[in-house]
Amino acid sequence: MYRTGDLARWRAEGTLEFMGRVDHQVKLRGFRIELDEIQCALNECPGVRESVVLARSYAANDERLVAYLVTADPAAPPAIADLRIQLEKKLPRYMIPTAFAFIDSFPLTANGKLDRTALPEPQAADREAAYAAPRDDAERRMVAIWEEVLSMSPIGIDDDFFDLGGHSLMALKLLASVERQFHQPLRLASIIEAPTVRQLTQLLARATSAPPETCVVPIQAEGDELPLFFVSGYGSSLLVFNALSKALGASQPLFVLDPMAFDPVALEHWSFSDMAQRMLDDLRRVQPAGPYRLAGHSMGGVFVYELAQRLHAAGERVEQLVLLDTVGPGFPGRHPWPVRLKLYVKRAATLGPSGMVRYVRWFLTTIFKRSGHDLLENLGTLAETRIGKAQKRSAAIVYDASEAYEPTLYPGSLTLVRSTQDKLKIGEIDDPYMGWRPLVRGEIHRESMDCIHKEMLDADHADVLAALLIKTRLQGL
């Protein structure tokens, strides 16, 4: 038995009624958030006397954080932009409030306690210090799309999509609506490159129906450190790299190499070698000479492994090569089905009736997810648009090409980071090197992350991943 932190009461008919939380913890988009932690960070900001943070519902399944502030000087409240900057130094992006409301004092109950239910709905002016109205028809149409997707109004042309509470699913809905309204598809990377109405409208005006000229997506182009080039896994969203970039700091340039950005018609005729060479060409346009830093998650690790091979062959130095849960090409990973089935049955027989139900549910969920439905889930409302169909098609081509990859011996060293929570399920082959040991002449430095495979790039693990990347870089691994 353990305390969950939930508050409930027994009803007369013998049922439990959920009343909320006793510790002000909320769950938004899969992230568990301690509101008190945000309040502590706000209270340390210059000009803030005290604060309260709530999760408010804007629409079905859409809650956002709202901060209420009592300032030290009501006549000169701190700028919202400055508050965001201060919070971003201490908190991950998903914990930054969407709206900031300045009030004279907090409402109290008859017992003198804070009355959270009496806090006012934040006004549009509380979201941003300055409102910039749309200037032409294209911007007005774009604003209308943003207001519908984000369920708020008004939105200015310089308001940041992510500061307004936008997330991956909203970005997919936004791009699907833009395609329908403007008859012009945009890459998912577009919302990273152009996160305001003004910028996205300008990007749309410059866009053509031709595929992008490069697979490089600049998450953070500036910084004093050597650039880090990252390739994500099958079905991953590019938007996850915003949190990693914040965690790595302003001095670290971060670029994502997205093989699915290539023209799907051309991809159908490319081998894995063709894809890797094109990615290498695009990478070297950004950084012509080494040393190089590379990282890849899941399928993406196979690509950075091959990129490192080609850079070594060209006489360049690879300073850092990091694979996150990437299985060595050709490594079986799991026992044959007859052996695995016996292990599953043996395991299930020890669980009892209730445990059996949970086990079967997990088993079926795992099979469903491994059948490729994760990608469809990530594409969301984009699935039936032109960009969605093209991305699904490209993802399948890239995945099949990576599965056919036959590696050669790598002359350098690498770091292998494994997730710990779901990698060694029943029937999995336990190899601490995940099949890479025979393929790497140098050292394989092993690290781990306490999460499941698909969470390794999530925002709530960004600080841990950033720390691993920084540590291995400083250690020369």
Domain ranges of the chain: 6-102, 130-211, 214-368+386-476
CA distance 74 to 71: 6
Between residues 456 and 341, the one the model is more confident about: 456
- 245 in Cβ contact with 466 (< 8 Å): no
CA distance 26 to 42: 18
pLDDT of residue 422: 62
Please give the DSSP secondary-structure letter assigned to residue 238.
G
Give residue-wise pLDDT tens across range 426-470.
555 677 888 899 999 999 999 999 888 878 888 778 888 999 999
- 159 in Cβ contact with 134 (< 8 Å): no
- 258 in Cβ contact with 232 (< 8 Å): yes
CA distance 21 to 7: 5
Residue of 257, 243, 349 whose CA lies nearest to 300: 257
Residue 358 has pLDDT above 50, yes or no: yes
Give residue-wise pLDDT tens across range 42-53.
999 999 999 999
Neighbouring residues of 77: CB distance < 8 A, sequence distance ≥ 6: 47, 69, 71, 102
pLDDT of residue 218: 87
Neighbouring residues of 132: CB distance < 8 A, sequence distance ≥ 6: 156, 157, 158, 198
Tokens 């409030």 belong to which residue?
97
**pLDDT bucket at 22, cuts 50 / 70 / 90:** low
CATH number of the domain located at residue range(s) 214-368+386-476 in this protein: 3.40.50.1820
Decide which of 3.50.50.60, 3.30.420.140, 3.40.50.150, 1.10.1200.10 is the CATH code for 130-211.
1.10.1200.10
* E strand map for 147-195: none
How many beta carbons lie within 10 A of that of residue 152, not counting itself? 20
Across all residues in the chain, what is the average pLDDT? 79
**pLDDT bucket at 416, cuts 50 / 70 / 90:** very high
Q: What is the mean pLDDT of residues 105-126?
A: 78
CA distance 369 to 379: 14
Residue 166 has pLDDT above 90, yes or no: no
Q: What is the DSSP string of 193-218?
A: H--SHHHHHHHHHH--SSPPS-SEEE
pLDDT of residue 211: 52
- 134 in Cβ contact with 140 (< 8 Å): yes
Q: What is the mean pLDDT of residues 262-277?
A: 82
pLDDT of residue 347: 62
pLDDT of residue 379: 43
pLDDT of residue 424: 46
pLDDT of residue 129: 47
Residue 254 has pLDDT above 50, yes or no: yes
pLDDT of residue 373: 38
pLDDT of residue 281: 93
Give residue-wise pLDDT tens across range 177-232.
888 888 777 777 788 888 899 999 988 887 654 555 688 888 888 888 999 999 98
- 282 in Cβ contact with 215 (< 8 Å): yes
Neighbouring residues of 454: CB distance < 8 A, sequence distance ≥ 6: 374
- 65 in Cβ contact with 89 (< 8 Å): no
CA distance 305 to 185: 32
Q: Is 24 helix (H, G, I), strand (E, B) or coil?
A: coil
Please give the DSSP secondary-structure letter assigned to residue 123.
P
pLDDT of residue 250: 82
Residue 251 has pLDDT above 60, yes or no: yes
- 220 in Cβ contact with 270 (< 8 Å): no
Residue 60 has pLDDT above 60, yes or no: no
CA distance 27 to 457: 18
- 259 in Cβ contact with 388 (< 8 Å): no
pLDDT of residue 285: 92
Domain 6-102, architecture per CATH = 2-Layer Sandwich (3.30)
Percentage above 70 pLDDT, the chain:
75
Between residues 198 and 376, the one the model is more confident about: 198
- 100 in Cβ contact with 126 (< 8 Å): yes
Locate 22 and state its tokens. 């006793």
Across 149-153, 271-275, 363-367, least confident range: 363-367
Q: What is the mean pLDDT of residues 252-268?
A: 82
Side chain identity, residue 365:
T
* Residue 261 exposed, middle or buried by CB count within 10 Å (0-12, 13-18, 19+): buried
- 2 in Cβ contact with 20 (< 8 Å): no
Across 40-44, 87-91, 304-308, least confident range: 87-91
Q: What angle do CA 317, 322, 324 make, to 5 degrees?
A: 160
Maximum distance among all Cα pairs of the chain, rounded to whole angstroms: 77
CA distance 293 to 131: 41
Q: What angle do CA 284, 286, 290 make, to 5 degrees?
A: 55
Between residues 263 and 321, the one the model is more confident about: 321
Residue 9 has pLDDT above 90, yes or no: no
CA distance 304 to 232: 10
Whether residue 154 is preceded by a cis peptide bond, meaning omega within 30 degrees of 0, is: yes
Distance of CA 14 to the CA centre of its chain: 42
Q: What is the mean pLDDT of residues 246-273?
A: 84
Q: What is the mean pLDDT of residues 400-422?
A: 86
Rounded alpha-carbon distances, angstroms, from residue 299 to 111, 419, 460? 58, 15, 22
Distance of CA 256 to the CA centre of its chain: 13
Side chain identity, residue 92:
P
Q: What is the mean pLDDT of residues 315-339?
A: 81
Residue of 42, 172, 175, 67 whose CA lies nearest to 119: 67
Across 60-74, 207-221, 257-271, 406-420, least confident range: 207-221
Residues β-bridged to residue 10: 16
- 63 in Cβ contact with 42 (< 8 Å): no
Residue 327 has pLDDT above 80, yes or no: yes
Q: What is the C-alpha end-to-end distance of the chain, expressed in Å?
A: 43
